[in-house]
Structure 1
Amino acid sequence: MSLCGFTDDDFHDACKELDEPQLEGGWELFTETMGVQIYRLLDKETGLYEYKVFGVLASCTPELCADVYMDLDYRKKWDSYVKELYEKDFDGHPAIYWEVKYPFPLSNRDYVYARERRDLDVGDRKVRVVLARSSSGTACLEKSGVIRVKDYKQSLAMESDGDSGTRIFLNYFDNPGGMIPTWLVNWGAKTGVPGFLTDMQKACNNYAKHLQKK
């Protein structure tokens, strides 16, 4: 068990999805666009969907993708939805605080979550895995006018596509709370994920310049 509460099995489960997507038990193909397949599974308790994403970032190595994904300061420069993002120690619990901009008239959402990266050797392959989930035990006061997302999880696995790109698997669920229409949540998933991957690819391509400026 790691300091963040993740187990070895959690990391290896994310790796397995790259070899053989685990889609039993009600997963359905939600949309396919720009070479990205998005599957969803209804969470009956909340009425919201959990998502699995499979795709390729064509011109970014796995090492570069992982480094860009982990770099919070850089994320603030390329992700236009970030209002505030930083890592700090909350009463002995290291966690990340992330406030996300929502369009008017919706309230912004914020997250407090634990995150860990591991670079795994799987046979003769190297797979980079990043896990994240809500850290409810952290002493981070909620802000007035911002809705705290208390149920959030994400796993990301990345490996070489055999060329100069990266095969990715992404699994995520969050409950944004408040009164957001289902159609808007679905629209956000259908357009937001491919948009995020496009932005991520641009961010990877510009990362060397960013590091030179530091």
Structure 2
Amino acid sequence: AALRGLVAWGRYSRQPRTFVSVLKTKQTRRQDGEDGPCGDGGVSEIEFEACESLVGDTGRQDARWELMSDKGSSQMWRRKVIAESDAKGQWVYRARAVLEGEGLDSVLEALTNTDIRTEWDSHCASMRRVSLLGDGVTEVIYSSVRFPFPLCDRDYVFYRRLVRRQGGGFMVARSARKGLVAEVEGVVRVDNFESHFAVVPRGDGKG
């Protein structure tokens, strides 16, 4: 399977490490307590448009993207976020990878199963589902991430929704409104985060 995505990180985070993706980041701007397009903070259908647009889009023709790594079956790019003054130092990352021998279901299981996240992601200290929103499809997820000394560990509270369409799986996650999960002393809460992932089978059925 080929995995692609879109991710936004707040001012306290650094370059993400991931085993797979077209990973693209963008900044989100919402006031404290402001809900998303669903009204309750859930992920709406319109937010999947950018996610679906990743299929077949490598971004190579966009000069703003700096190629950081190219290992044949996987590539990673980045670009500076310059839209607003308080985003100084923030980077947007995107990546693309082909997973040989892995089917759609197994890749989606690895991405969404909170019980096994720590088994393949060495930076993830914990991940759990907090609740399910009223729309019945959007989850509230809590995740804590280890950072090397002297940096403080980070944690995230975000909405997450997965849909299957066009023969693939598409997942959108973004920061949840404040107050859903209490902050932890000594851990920095990342409050400006968004990610889009597109997972599509290869035409030959081998990945």
TM-score after normalising by structure 2: 0.69
Give the aligned partner of residue 202 of structure 2. 161
Question: Contact 1:90 / 1:139 at 8 angstroms: preserved in 2?
Answer: no
| Aligned: 1:102 with 2:147 | yes
Post-superposition Cα deviations, 1:124-162, rounded to whole Å, max 9, x if no partner, equal: xx1201111111334211111111111111111011112
CA distance in 2, matches of 1:32, 1:117: 28
Give the aligned partner of residue 13 of structure 1. 50
Runs of 5+ in structure 1 lacking a partner? 167-214
CA distance in 2, matches of 1:139, 1:54: 32
| Aligned: 1:76 with 2:118 | yes
Cα distance change on mapping 1:135 and 1:120 into 2, 3 Å = same
% same residue: 25
Given candidates 158, 180, 183, the residue that maps to 1:142 is 183
Q: Which amino acid aligns with 1:71?
A: N
Cα distance change on mapping 1:144 and 1:131 into 2, 3 Å = same
TM-score after normalising by structure 1: 0.67
More helix by share: 1
Give the aligned partner of residue 132 of structure 1. 173
Greater RCO between the two (CA within 8 Å, min separation 6)? 2
CA distance in 2, matches of 1:64, 1:26: 33
Q: CA deviation at 1:25?
A: 6.9
Cα distance change on mapping 1:143 and 1:29 into 2, 3 Å = same
Give the aligned partner of residue 111 of structure 1. 156
Q: Secondary structure of 2:196's match? A: strand
Post-superposition Cα deviations, 1:32-61, rounded to whole Å, max 9, x if no partner, equal: 125211111201223221011112011101
Cα distance change on mapping 1:34 and 1:146 into 2, 3 Å = farther
Question: Between Structure 1 and Structure 2, how many residues are aligned?
Answer: 162
Question: Contact 1:130 / 1:155 at 8 angstroms: preserved in 2?
Answer: yes
Post-superposition Cα deviations, 1:60-79, rounded to whole Å, max 9, x if no partner, equal: 01121112211110112332
CA distance in 2, matches of 1:165, 1:9: 31
Q: Runs of 4+ in structure 1 displaced over 4 angstroms?
A: 1-4, 90-94
CA RMSD of aligned residues (A): 2.5
